[in-house]
Structure 1
Amino acid sequence: MSDATPETTAQAPDDGNGIPGPRLRRLKINKFRNVRPTELVFDDEWNVLLGKNGTGKTTLLELIAATIRGDLEAFDNVEYDLEADLSFGDVEVKWTCKDSLNKDNPNDFLSTVIHSVERRFRAEIALPGVASHVLTGDERGIDGYHRRSHLSRAGGSAPFAFMLLIASVVRKKQQDTPGLQAASMSGDAQRFDEILTFFQRISPNGDLTLSNPPIIQSTLASDELANAFVKSLRYSDERVSIEHQDLPFLRRFVELCGLSSASLHLELLQRDASEKVPLAIFGRPSFLFRRHNGEELREQHLSFGQKRLLSFLYYLTISNPVVADELVDGLHYDWISACVEATEGRQKFFASQNPLLVDHMGFKTREAVKSRFIRCSLEGDEMIWQNFTDEEADDFFVAYRTGIQAVSEVLRQKGLW
């Protein structure tokens, strides 16, 4: 590879609207399922999980997404002891959480069943040079906000947006900071799976809904879609139709698939005129695609790869960072390139058995090699997750810089994949 090989870095990454994106910097696992205790460091942009089937790549992706959300509820019935460093713009968060069996009276079966876990939560929130605050939680709630319905228990979902908001109140600075907005984004972080689960969620039987006025919105409703929805309401009262020109993700899909046009339709599900402000809820999303010869297609007529492409382009409108499992499955090489390009500037976590994905990566330093790859393996029943060692990173980097092979070829030749 020549020295001109690009290595994409983002000094001030954002979501395209000037808002810094969330970043997971470090994850220390002291206890989690059958994972060997480990400490992982992450790159600001590329993070690729390597390993054979059954080594825990999907499990790690789920853990990463839940950690970014601050969501302990994702690990019910699992003992864990985790530490993480995150950043939301200029705001830094150090997060620790524990969930362990109650060992005070191990012989008391009833006590073990009813009081089976003890959860502890602690977050250090700092805006360097400005202010800092520590939030703690237990089964009752977070700090002095116990039993408040708008704040989850420490044993449930505790989005960092809430914590930063509390910290801002404590500092008596209730202003709309980029860090708070970035933390709000993290609440939507989720894994894009290797099958069509996400596609099904934005199909007629899925759970995508929007309301007018926007009081009740599903977690799947992106700002992009919500804005187009409000605009289209002027023309319809029972069924909302949005053309692809008003939806960037759908417009991009039309371009990549060589279609003539496309539209998204939402049906009226419920209308409540009893309130002072009438409420209408729309859902059952469906798509209509048109070829240049005038032929019309519905979402069920798309190929597997087209369904994956459409759902991933929409996924990008709601999830930051990107956490994707086997992204390249069913995608043409040009579509893979387009998807990778669309993630530029965001932190991303990929698990892939296909070399086409990692061949989009570039490296300028050994340190980048070490933080960008995570090897997943098994030793007996124990899952082992680890960054490349210094020796492995050096070995890879020398071969990469002096050879002409693709990234995947170097990984295989060096026994790293």
Structure 2
Amino acid sequence: MLKLQWLQVHQFRSVNPGTRLSFSPSFNVLLGRNGTGKTLLLDLLAAVASSDFTAMALEPFELEYALSADTGRITVRVRNVPVMPQDGPAGSGLSMDIVVSPRDMAWPLVIRREGLQVTVSREGDTSLVVQERLAPEVAGRLWLVLMSGGIAWVEKTGEGTSTVEPLLAMAREVSALAGLSRFDEGLAYFEQLYQVELRLSRRAEGVLATGTGLASEALLDGLRRLAAAQWGSARYVVPSDAVPFLRDASRLLGFTSAEASLVPLEASPEGKYESLTLGGLELDFLGPGDTRVSARQLGHGQKRLLALQHYLARARAVVVVDEVAHSLHPQLVRASVEPLKGRQSFFTSQSPVLMDLLAFESAEHVRASLVVCRREEDTGLLTWEDPSPEAAERLFTASAAAPGQMGALLQAQGLW
């Protein structure tokens, strides 16, 4: 899985130019008071980790960062000069300098993008330069730039596809992060759970299922199997055993099970196929004595836990969560966070519950895992930085002597 190694901000809103941060491959926690840009940084990290700058097309910025995995490394410098829609296609103000170094490729490729024009060459060798024009639909998506550059190299050099297959594999790894966003501190994500529309198509080879919004793959798969056996039903009910996020939420909330139900909105033929559009999603939890509770009737913290389980089921490589402990019992925070140790996670929290779960292996681990966020009083600029080596050493020494007291130690040392 690709993970974000470091980020340097040359220009972005009111962030201090030259800001450079390094990150841990597991937990990363943003520390600071209200108004120090923690949520802004989470949004930026989601855009950078997914390498999709489409939503930032109308603001100027210049960033540099590196993604790495067992399969190789990608370094990117991206700049944007806003171009209004009436003045040019999407992405025409974007430029990228990319070095792709797949582990199993003989040489790294350098891909340079200026607007919709791309050039590709071997690193350190400009004797052969391939040019390609991007489709406007590429917009700010890095994975499509990588795909376009790799395919253009094969087509215009005559080299076999196997030559750049490691690059294309890394492009697919980037595409797996598409749609990564910040899990908000309130219930916005919970409300989005219901804004889904699913479409079924019955063909000779079976039923296909697609969805819009936050439809989970498990829900689609469970619905596909259900529709194959019950095509034409007035209501489709998928049990929580078939939907892991719903199963986990029901267990954590103390229910015996749960179910997701949808109703047909429209049925129409598609040539020789039958299609069915489903909506009206309802999520219900079942308890002892046949009690049934709609997710809409849950308390604030329960709703947030349900939404968080859905988010974590989708964010399989990188997790970006704002105020992870907000309105959750400490046991639920622990149960949600501890299974994420294999993923790269970025959190904020004003609760010591999250902080007290942190454990560090060294002072360097402290530096890589914490980001201290401040706002300069005289300039108003946002300052984001790793703890100093001295502060990291003090915190590591203190935490070894008082395990499980990280929140108090961070406050005592002025880091939180």
Deviation at 1:222, TM superposition (A): 3.0
* 2:217 aligned partner: 223
| Equivalent-residue separation in structure 2 for 1:224 and 1:178 (angstroms) | 24
* 2:135 aligned partner: 148
| Equivalent-residue separation in structure 2 for 1:44 and 1:348 (angstroms) | 8
Deviation at 1:271, TM superposition (A): 3.1
SS at match of 1:97: strand
* 2:388 aligned partner: 389
The answer on whether the counterparts of 1:88 and 1:182 sit within 8 Å (CA) in structure 2 is no
Q: Which amino acid aligns with 2:395?
A: F
| Equivalent-residue separation in structure 1 for 2:228 and 2:404 (angstroms) | 56
The answer on whether the counterparts of 1:27 and 1:82 sit within 8 Å (CA) in structure 2 is yes
User: Alpha carbons of 1:327 and 1:404: their partners in 2 closer, same or farther (altered >3 Å)?
Assistant: closer
Deviation at 1:404, TM superposition (A): 4.7
User: Alpha carbons of 1:124 and 1:269: their partners in 2 closer, same or farther (altered >3 Å)?
Assistant: farther
Q: Which has the higher contact order (CA 8 A, sep 6+)?
A: 1
1:411 correspondence with 2:410:
yes
* 1:292 aligned partner: 288
- Choose the corresponding residue for 1:119, options 66, 72, 94: 94
| Equivalent-residue separation in structure 1 for 2:197 and 2:398 (angstroms) | 47
- Choose the corresponding residue for 1:165, options 147, 157, 171: 147
Deviation at 1:178, TM superposition (A): 6.2
* 1:374 aligned partner: 371
The answer on whether the counterparts of 1:374 and 1:387 sit within 8 Å (CA) in structure 2 is yes
User: Alpha carbons of 1:56 and 1:214: their partners in 2 closer, same or farther (altered >3 Å)?
Assistant: farther
The answer on whether the counterparts of 1:361 and 1:407 sit within 8 Å (CA) in structure 2 is yes
Q: Which amino acid aligns with 2:225?
A: K
| Equivalent-residue separation in structure 2 for 1:333 and 1:178 (angstroms) | 40
- Choose the corresponding residue for 1:138, options 106, 114, 123: 114
The answer on whether the counterparts of 1:22 and 1:185 sit within 8 Å (CA) in structure 2 is no
| Equivalent-residue separation in structure 2 for 1:72 and 1:353 (angstroms) | 29
- Gap regions ≥5 residues in structure 2: 120-130, 155-160, 202-206
The answer on whether the counterparts of 2:52 and 2:142 sit within 8 Å (CA) in structure 1 is yes
| Equivalent-residue separation in structure 1 for 2:197 and 2:36 (angstroms) | 33
1:328 correspondence with 2:317:
no
The answer on whether the counterparts of 1:46 and 1:348 sit within 8 Å (CA) in structure 2 is yes
The answer on whether the counterparts of 1:88 and 1:180 sit within 8 Å (CA) in structure 2 is no
* 1:53 aligned partner: 34
User: Alpha carbons of 1:313 and 1:405: their partners in 2 closer, same or farther (altered >3 Å)?
Assistant: closer
Deviation at 1:142, TM superposition (A): 4.8
- Choose the corresponding residue for 2:3, options 2, 20, 23: 23
Q: Which amino acid aligns with 1:393?
A: A
Deviation at 1:98, TM superposition (A): 0.7
The answer to which of 299-308 and 130-139 deviates more is 130-139
Deviation at 1:300, TM superposition (A): 1.1
- Choose the corresponding residue for 1:274, options 270, 275, 286: 270
Deviation at 1:270, TM superposition (A): 3.3
| Equivalent-residue separation in structure 2 for 1:53 and 1:236 (angstroms) | 52
The answer on whether the counterparts of 2:250 and 2:257 sit within 8 Å (CA) in structure 1 is yes
* 2:122 aligned partner: none
- Choose the corresponding residue for 1:315, options 307, 311, 315: 311
Deviation at 1:122, TM superposition (A): 2.5
User: Alpha carbons of 1:158 and 1:60: their partners in 2 closer, same or farther (altered >3 Å)?
Assistant: same
Q: Which amino acid aligns with 1:75?
A: M
Deviation at 1:119, TM superposition (A): 2.2
The answer on whether the counterparts of 2:187 and 2:303 sit within 8 Å (CA) in structure 1 is yes
The answer on whether the counterparts of 1:88 and 1:183 sit within 8 Å (CA) in structure 2 is no
Which structure has more helix as a fraction of its residues?
2
User: Alpha carbons of 1:353 and 1:236: their partners in 2 closer, same or farther (altered >3 Å)?
Assistant: same
The answer on whether the counterparts of 2:24 and 2:344 sit within 8 Å (CA) in structure 1 is yes
Deviation at 1:77, TM superposition (A): 2.6
| Equivalent-residue separation in structure 1 for 2:336 and 2:140 (angstroms) | 30
Show CA shifts across 1:299-327 (max 9, x none): 21111111111111111121230000001
Q: Which amino acid aligns with 2:147?
A: L
Q: Which amino acid aligns with 2:95?
A: R
SS at match of 1:362: coil
Deviation at 1:85, TM superposition (A): 0.1
Question: How large is the RMSD of aligned CA atoms in angstroms?
Answer: 2.6
- Gap regions ≥5 residues in structure 1: 1-20, 103-110
The answer to which of 359-368 and 220-229 deviates more is 220-229
The answer on whether the counterparts of 1:209 and 1:284 sit within 8 Å (CA) in structure 2 is no
- Choose the corresponding residue for 1:198, options 186, 189, 200: 189
TM-score (norm 2): 0.84
SS at match of 1:31: strand
Q: Which amino acid aligns with 1:24?
A: L
SS at match of 1:191: coil
1:70 correspondence with 2:70:
no
Deviation at 1:93, TM superposition (A): 1.0
User: Alpha carbons of 1:146 and 1:40: their partners in 2 closer, same or farther (altered >3 Å)?
Assistant: same
Q: Which amino acid aligns with 1:187?
A: A
The answer on whether the counterparts of 2:59 and 2:82 sit within 8 Å (CA) in structure 1 is no
User: Alpha carbons of 1:93 and 1:218: their partners in 2 closer, same or farther (altered >3 Å)?
Assistant: farther
1:256 correspondence with 2:256:
no
1:82 correspondence with 2:63:
yes
| Equivalent-residue separation in structure 2 for 1:229 and 1:163 (angstroms) | 34
Show CA shifts across 1:272-323 (max 9, x none): 3133443333233211211112221112111111111111111112123000
* 2:124 aligned partner: none
The answer on whether the counterparts of 2:79 and 2:95 sit within 8 Å (CA) in structure 1 is yes
Deviation at 1:215, TM superposition (A): 7.0
* 1:16 aligned partner: none
Q: Which amino acid aligns with 1:222?
A: S
The answer on whether the counterparts of 1:27 and 1:40 sit within 8 Å (CA) in structure 2 is yes
SS at match of 1:55: coil
Between the two proteins, the alignment pairs up a number of residues equal to 382
Q: Which amino acid aligns with 1:327?
A: V
Identity across the alignment (%): 27
